[in-house]
Amino acid sequence: MRTTSLTIIISFISFSILSSGLNAGQIYISKYKSDSDANIYITKYRSDAHIVVYISEYKSDASGNEAIWHYTKYKSDADVKLYITEYKSDSDIIVCFSNYKSDAGWKKENDFQGKL
């Protein structure tokens, strides 16, 4: 499951957190932990997730919504840079992906809420 999720996410590519707290949407997946704004762990269980995320094909859908992401190919285009961790304990945010836009949103309190 982890390998499949990683493959799907890396194929889209994206992310860069703005410390000013602006809502993101443009995501870049970093290859290096030191180059990221936050570390995420991908779970298939919504009950474990801090946030449920919907991936949009359109940049405009992701604007101003933390839970709707659009992957960008270039780091400079991203609002937030994320690194995908292999272990839940290494993550800042636990993410679950949904096929439905209506499911997207924060499910649990997190320090990054309002900053993605």
pLDDT in tens, the chain (116 residues): 555 555 454 443 333 332 333 356 899 999 999 999 999 999 999 999 999 999 999 988 887 778 999 999 999 999 999 999 999 999 999 999 999 999 999 999 888 888 77
In a domain, residue 113? The reply is: no
In a domain, residue 115? The reply is: no
In a domain, residue 72? The reply is: yes
In a domain, residue 51? The reply is: yes
Q: How far is CA 15 from CA 18, 48, 69, 89, in A?
A: 10, 22, 9, 21
Amino acid letter for position 73: K
Residue 72: give the domain boundaries: 2-106
Its pTM surpasses 0.85: no
In a domain, residue 114? The reply is: no
Number of domains in the chain: 1
Amino acid letter for position 93: I
In a domain, residue 37? The reply is: yes
In a domain, residue 40? The reply is: yes
| Rounded Cα–Cα distance for residues 116 and 112 (Å) | 6
In a domain, residue 75? The reply is: yes
Q: Is 76 exposed, middle or buried (0-12, 13-18, 19+ CB in 10 A)?
A: exposed
